[in-house]
Amino acid sequence: MLRNANVKGVQVRRGGDPSRLRRLNSTDVLAALYAQGPCTLTEVSAVTGLSRPTVEDVVEDFVRDRIVRELPPEPGGTGRPARRFRFGADEGFVAGIDIGVHKVLVILANLEGEVREVRRSTVDPDLGRPERLAVARTALARCLDDSGVAPSRLRAIGAGTPGVVHDGAVTLCTVLPDWTGLDLGRALMTESPVPVVVENDANLATIAEHWRGAAQDVRDAVCVLAGNRVAAGVLIGGRLHRGHRGGAGELGLLPALRWEEAPDRLLAACPGTGDLAAVFAAARSGDARATAAVDGFTDDLATGTAALLLAVDPAVVVVGGGLSRAGDLIAGGLRERLAALCPPPPEVRVSALGDEAVATGAIRVALERATEDLFPDGLPVGSLPPR
């Protein structure tokens, strides 16, 4: 029986070939290079446990495919200088786009997630669908242009949007009325066929807090975003939990939990003040009425958060949201209320990423997409400092 047929001149094999071993070892080597930064072959050999000749052979292949780059050898030191290699981070780039109600934020990063360009555009909440999309598209184009990255080197785009997302399309969006039904994945696709990953904004913020934010050290977390809308993302076992219909953490639907009306109530408590950001700013500067209003808002938040906590039992709660870093205004009161509601009190942390959380999460999912063939088991934990 011809099991491993020679199709089109390429060896196609199934089961447990030696080639399977090679694949495993190759990803191990690349993962080491990715996680450790610049490395000599001996170092890679040490961390992977593979012999030096094997590592050399594998790395040679990667260099040929421009996935790994050779660096000039380190000058000092005794003995023959070792050749040094690093992951070819600048061979490709990814973009993270946060399309929000009041702003559009684009981040451009290389394949190691190193940020190259950040571009923030304020937009009118009432802006229509095509105009809003145009802002996003030109912002992305500018990012590429300003950083001198040819569009052809863009490997993936991540995009965050409010609303329920399914299969790249926005199924339901209450805050951007003409947004419902939009196939955002298709809308953002550039001329070149770059894969676009679309995800709910709260989910992306959660991913970001786990990647580079306040939840790096835990595997179970709940991320509450307080802003014009209250939403939450759920991280379980180090992975985002979307839920069956993508609705995990959407507590707004249960009136008893008071999430849906919380923002409106906050605004109503401060008549005359323009928008939520203004209320938070007033509270921060000591305005008594605004402070009381924020306090009520925190109270509204607490009930739903408590339900979420009891359901999921995370290690930490991260409080975030795009509004002028509102997290720290809320965290204290929330901590107090949750301690009363669900003993033992959970740990409440303030977002470390502020209003870049969503775009940072978008970078992360784009990165995962762009490297899924290099790292079938997911991105290795990198050595890159979190900025």
Partner DNA sequence: CCACTTATTAAAGGAACTTTGTTTAATAAG
Partner DNA sequence: CTTATTAAACAAAGTTCCTTTAATAAGTGG
d(CA 352, CA 215): 9
Distance CA 191, CA 209 (A): 32
**Ramachandran class of 105: left when φ > 0, alpha when ψ lies in -120 to 50, beta otherwise:** beta
Asked if 16 is part of the footprint of DNA (rule: CB under 7 A), the reply reads yes
- CA neighbor of 30 nearest in space, from 386, 372, 385: 372
At its nearest, how many Å lie between DNA and the CB of residue 370?
Answer: 25
78 binds DNA (CB under 7 A): yes
181-240: which residues touch a copy of itself (CB under 8 A)? Answer: 218, 220, 234, 236-237, 239
> CB burial class (10 A; 0-12, 13-18, 19+) of residue 154?
buried
Among 243, 210, 207, residue whose Cα is nearest residue 96: 207
From the number of C-beta atoms within 10 Å of its C-beta (0-12, 13-18, 19+), residue 321 rates as buried
Q: Is 298 in the site for a copy of itself (CB under 8 A)?
A: no
What is the C-alpha separation between 233 and 361, in angstroms, rounded?
A: 12
Per CB under 7 A, 83 contacts DNA? yes
Question: Can residue 387 be called a binding residue for a copy of itself (CB under 8 A)?
Answer: no
134 binds, among DNA, a copy of itself, none (CB under 5 to 8 A by kind): none
Q: How far is the CB of 1 from DNA (least distance, A)?
A: 7
Is residue 169 close enough to count as binding a copy of itself by CB under 8 A? Answer: no
105 phi, psi to nearest 5 deg: -125, 125
Question: With contacts defined by CB under 8 A, how many residues of the chain interact with a copy of itself?
Answer: 50
CB-CB neighbours of 130 under 10 Å:
10
- In this structure, the strands spanning 84-87 and 39-40 are antiparallel
Confirm or reject binding of residue 72 to DNA (CB under 7 A): no
CB of 273 or CB of 303, closer to a copy of itself: 303
Q: Which does 383 bind (CB under 5 to 8 A by kind): a copy of itself, DNA, none?
A: none
CB of 70 to DNA, least distance (A): 9
Nearer to DNA, 41 or 232 (CB): 41
Q: How far apart are CA 93 and CA 285, in angstroms?
A: 41
In angstroms, what is the minimal distance from the CB of 208 to DNA? 35
Half-sphere exposure of 56 (CA within 13 A, CB side): 6
Interacting positions 15-34 with a copy of itself (CB under 8 A): 15-16, 18, 20-21, 24-25, 28
Where along the sequence are the contacts to DNA (CB under 7 A)?
A: 1-4, 13-19, 21-22, 25, 40-42, 49-54, 56-58, 75-83
Where along the sequence are the contacts to a copy of itself (CB under 8 A)?
A: 3, 14-16, 18, 20-21, 24-25, 28, 48-51, 54, 218, 220, 234, 236-237, 239, 241-251, 253-254, 256-257, 303, 306-308, 310-315, 341-344
